[in-house]
Amino acid sequence: MRKSSQILSIILILLIISGVALGAYFYQKNLPLLWVFGIAIGFVFYRSGICFSTAFSDIVIFRNFRMFRTSLILLLVSFLGFNIVQLYSNISNGSIPGYIFPVGLHTAIGGILFGMGMVLAGACVCGTLQKLSEGFLLFWFVLSGVVIGSLLGAYHYPWWEVSYLSWEPVFLPNIFGWRVSWLLTVIILVGVFGGTFLLERRK
Amino acid sequence: MAKERLDVLGEVCPIPLLMTQGVLAKLKNIDVLIVETDSNQAARNIFNWCESCGFKFEIDDLENGIWEITIKKE
Amino acid sequence: MKQGQGKTINKHVLIGPWPYWAGALILGLLNVLLFVIFKKPWGVTSGIAKWGFDLWEGLGGHPESWAYFREINSDILSSHIFFNQANILNMGLVFGVMLAVLLSSHFRIKRLKTRSQLISAIAGGIMMGYGARLAFGCNIGALIGGIASQSLHGWVFGVFLFIGASLGTLFVRYYVLKKRLP
């Protein structure tokens, strides 16, 4: 890419960014903040080269857990922060925010399908958005696949929920209590983190 | 010194790494393999693999969206 | 262009690669901040489900009568196609990546190479979309968001995600070794 066209496209991108921010502000006051969050996430994503599908495929291909551990760091940081927010929210008004959804056979099938799909496509869904904007024409097809797949999935969901085992959402602190649940999660995450080093050494 | 080029432009993880592995395993008589990729993640992926295998390697960022990885077999 | 100068990776913070752990740390903190401010963790696929919803509606279907959209994802029904929370976050991601790519002058249109690439891309995309609806999210929403919210479904999803990804990798490796090598 030539230098002049590069600068031109950066200016264009910045113009679009501020235009959308302005439009979003008039639509709903808190959207521009979300927009900034998205831009920051995208920037960090590309710079650090994090890819969740590589995290799993590297383990199989050459028993390398580097990216897997990266995902664990992301998970652990999110967990520690989320836990404080949930606890605070629970004490102040009794509600528990977060992604707490039903679990059942459909979760397992969904996991397997998603895992196979992300290796076949070469990126998970946010990786698809990332590689699309890097200039990979291929990922436009992946994205259309995701749109079609999520329509099919939404259409079939009631069938899965009714025909196969599905339980109500399970919030772990309701079973183990806040402290034990916190401790268990941290022990498992840190344990897996440490365990990957052992698995790597025994090559 | 036998050189070989591997063009994985337009391919995404994990295919560039698998191709690199396969070519290195198949062509036993080459000393230097130059892999061309246009995905920064694939470049880092191959970088990680070379590091864990103990190969000598160099990465050239050609600054037009192409990375050239030179792997030297010992 | 720097050519043949050995290890010429740019070390500048805005242009060069960041270590993985730093990226993970920042993304984790951003995720927590999102949760603090919006009471909703970072999610990706619900924004894409909204596109599917509007597409099907535009084609003359009636997705608003589907149980999934009525009961589980009901905020999709009335939200604007572009200016909704999930989509703004996704589009922000796209533009953030573009900004990063352009700053380091790595942008390049990458064309399709083989027909099998196209097939596996579409098949992989459909599987991801379907799986994400069944499991309530992708890697970000169900795995990170689920486990971090201490929901059981995150753990179940994670275990089976690992199995699925391993199977997928074995398949891709088999294919590459059999068909693609010279």
Angle between the N-to-C axes of helices A125-134 and A31-48, in degrees from 0 to 180, rounded to the nearest 10:
80
Per-residue model confidence as pLDDT tens for chain C (182 residues) = 233 333 455 556 667 788 889 999 999 999 999 999 988 888 888 888 888 888 888 888 888 888 777 777 777 777 787 888 888 999 999 999 999 988 888 888 888 888 888 999 999 999 999 999 888 888 888 899 999 999 999 999 999 999 999 999 999 989 888 877 76
Pick B12's closest partner by Cβ from A58, A61, A136: A136
To the nearest whole Å, the CA of A21 is away from the closest chain B CA by: 29
Touching subunits for chain B (3+ Cβ pairs under 8 A): A, C
DSSP symbols for C62-130: -GGGSHIIIIISTHHHHS-SSSSHHHHHHHHHHHHHHHHHHHTT----B----HHHHHHHHHHHHHHHH
Q: Which residues of A touch B (CB under 8 A)?
A: 1, 46, 49, 51, 53-54, 57-58, 61-62, 64, 66-67, 119, 122-123, 131, 134-136, 138
pLDDT at A141 over 90: yes
- Write out pLDDT tens, residues C4-13: 333 455 556 6
Into how many domains does chain B fold? 1
Please give the residue range of the domain that contains residue B45. 3-72
Model pLDDT for residues C124-157, shown as the tens digit of each residue: 999 999 999 888 888 888 899 999 999 999 999 9
Q: Is the pLDDT of residue A119 over 60?
A: yes
- Beta strands A103-104 and A166-167: pairing type? antiparallel
Q: What pTM was computed for the model?
A: 0.89
Task: Determine the pLDDT at residue C1.
Answer: 28
Q: Do C3 and B62 touch (CB under 8 A)?
A: yes
Give A157's contacts (C-beta < 8 A, 6+ positions apart): A106, C66, C67, C68, C72, C133, C134
For the record, the structure tokens of A100 come out as: 């707490």
Residue A183's pLDDT is: 92
Q: Of the candidates A49, A64, A119, which has its C-beta nearest B41's C-beta?
A: A49
**C11 CB near a chain B CB, below 8 Å?**
no
**Domain boundaries, given as residue ranges, for chain A:** 1-48, 52-202
Query: For chain A, what percent of residues have pLDDT higher than 70?
Result: 97
Q: Assess C12–B contact: CB distance below 8 Å, yes or no.
A: no
Question: Which pLDDT score, from 0 to 100, does residue C13 have?
Answer: 64
Contacts of A53 (CB under 8 A, 6+ apart): A118, A119, A121, A122, A123, A124, A127, B13, B14, C165
- Judged by a CB distance cut-off of 8 A, whether residue C1 touches chain B is yes
- Determine what percent of chain C is predicted with pLDDT higher than 90: 34
pLDDT score at C5: 35
How far apart are the C-alpha atoms of A139 and C120, rounded to whole Å? Answer: 11
Q: For position B29, which CATH number holds?
A: 3.30.110.40
